[in-house]
Amino acid sequence: MDEPLDRPRGDDLNLDDLGDLNGLGDARDADRAKDADHAVDLGDLLDRLRAGLPAEALITDPDVTVSYGRDMASFCAAGTPAVVVLPRTVEQVQHVLRTATALRVPVVPQGARTGLSGAANATDGCIVLSLVKMDRILEISPVDRIAVVEPGVVNAVLSRAVEERGLSYPPDPSSWETCTIGGNIGTASGGLCCVKYGVTAEYVLGLDVVLADGRLLTTGRRTAKGVAGYDLTRLFVGSEGSLGVVVKAVLALKPKPPRQLVLAAEFPSAAAACDAICAIMARGHAPSLLELMDATTVRAVNALGRTGLPETTEALLLAAFDTPDPTADLAAVGELCTAAGATGVVPADTVAESELLLAARRTALTALEAVKSATMIDDVCVPRSRLGAMIDGTAAIAEKHGLTIGVCAHAGDGNTHPVVCFDHTDPDETRRARESFDEIMALGLELGGTITGEHGVGVLKKEWLARELGPVGVELQRGIKRTFDPLGILNPGKVF
């Protein structure tokens, strides 16, 4: 086992002082947005919005606006929006931001609200800016290998559209059938194929962004290469709507790969499975997918969908290849799994069998959510070499707190999703769930990792972001926020 990585966290950061650090930042945000906190005349706000928007773009019925209050994250504060706006054009988005700046009203951008960190949660009296109606695919170019899309395009819709042109858009979050490209960009989301093809940030070439004051900024390029100026495109990817509102994206595409075949390997322990993962990567294999489910997750998936996964296993590894000869690649990986202690190695013979295995993996989070009345989903990413320590440490935390914690992971990236299952009506169990969640994030940092690999910070991990970045990092990132959003109206209370 490798020794723990030494990772600097700022200039001798004292974790006991982080409450003060966060409190200072919250106070500054409050000062910048203080005019948004005073009673804004709702009639005036609605009149100004109506001046530049069609009637159908505004939702004011409280019974409806409340449904836009939060994303899928548990235990994240959410307020009541004053109005929900569903624009269809860039000009309408600009009008909303100009109105918000004039009246100093908070604006919370939203996609499909499938996020898991509270980043899309409303604040009291805000304008919820839902971009789901901006859902056009504007261009697909096989020659330039790009797609130009609006933010409300659903990931799966884009993937299928480019596939018809012999191309591929690889990022595929588990919620790909419902999540939007704008939301994927906002949280810098990943997916099952990241191990070979990378995450959303690697496919965003350029953006059109409406800034807090309503100006339209174009970043990036349509070309395969380009290094003119600072990389503002990457700055917006993962900013969770706190710097501007994405209204158009230029996305890189890949040639459509061959259909992949999947291998399932059973292991007597998570440690043995992690040994196999390390061997696969060390030998230079390039799987299109390398996913891990622990025994708790396997049982939950079987209970939800009767998928027939082997419940005798302590860890189930799925490896896939989309190479010209996937059968040979699977055979080589199967040998490595056996050498690492696998008790069963079963390669799929057909694409249909492979799809069934992948469908089971995609339901993992949903299945764990069905175990108890509530869940807290962690998103800790560690170096691949520390994956075994991360999973074993999570199991120890579950035992310590007497809780069910299932782990599914994008194992090829070291990105784990420990899911804490608990009864939210039991105060003591709820307390233990929160403590275990925090201990899992602390473990990830101790192992040289990060508190979020793809779900973002939102409300859920604000304190932990400060711990990871340190005081100097927090100060500089707050400065960036002030540059783009001097009044603090864009998604206030999120990230910092």
- What is the pLDDT at residue 496? 80
Residue 125 corresponds to which tokens in the numbers above? 């009296």
CA–CA gap between residue 302 and residue 102 (Å, rounded): 54
Residue range 39-130 forms a domain whose CATH class is alpha beta
φ, ψ dihedrals at 76, nearest 5°: -125, 130
Residue 312 corresponds to which tokens in the numbers above? 């005798």
Residue corresponding to tokens 């709820």: 430
CA–CA gap between residue 165 and residue 182 (Å, rounded): 22
CA–CA gap between residue 202 and residue 108 (Å, rounded): 25
pLDDT profile of the chain (496 residues), mean per 10: 33 35 41 51 96 97 96 89 98 98 98 95 97 98 98 98 97 92 96 92 98 98 94 97 98 96 96 96 96 96 89 94 95 98 95 91 91 92 95 96 96 95 95 96 97 94 93 96 97 92
Residue 472 Cα distances to 116, 231, 243, 469, 477, angstroms = 27, 21, 20, 7, 9
Residue 470 Cα distances to 17, 218, 452, 466, 481, angstroms = 11, 31, 16, 6, 17
Contact indicator for 219, 247 with CB cutoff of 8 Å? no
Residue corresponding to tokens 């056996």: 338
Would you call 145 exposed, middle or buried from its count of C-beta atoms within 10 A (0-12, 13-18, 19+)?
middle
Contact indicator for 104, 146 with CB cutoff of 8 Å? no
List all residues 6 or more positions away from 367 whose beta carbon is below 8 Å from its beta carbon.
Answer: 297, 300, 301, 303, 304, 305
Strand ranges across the sheet with 137-141: 137-141, 146-149, 245-252, 204-210, 216-220
Q: Given the DSSP bridges, would you call strands 127-130 and 83-85 parallel, antiparallel or unpaired?
A: parallel
Which amino acid would we find at residue 282?
A
Can you name the CATH fold of 137-255?
3.30.465
CA–CA gap between residue 227 and residue 105 (Å, rounded): 36
Q: Domain boundaries in the chain?
A: 39-130, 137-255, 261-446
From the list 360, 388, 491, 494, the residue with the least C-alpha distance to 36 is 491
Residue 23 corresponds to which tokens in the numbers above? 């409190």
Which amino acid would we find at residue 291?
E
| CA trace torsion 172, 173, 177, 183 (10° rounding) | -110
∠ CA 5-117-56, nearest 5°, is 150
Can you name the CATH fold of 261-446?
Vanillyl-alcohol Oxidase; Chain A, domain 3 (3.40.462)
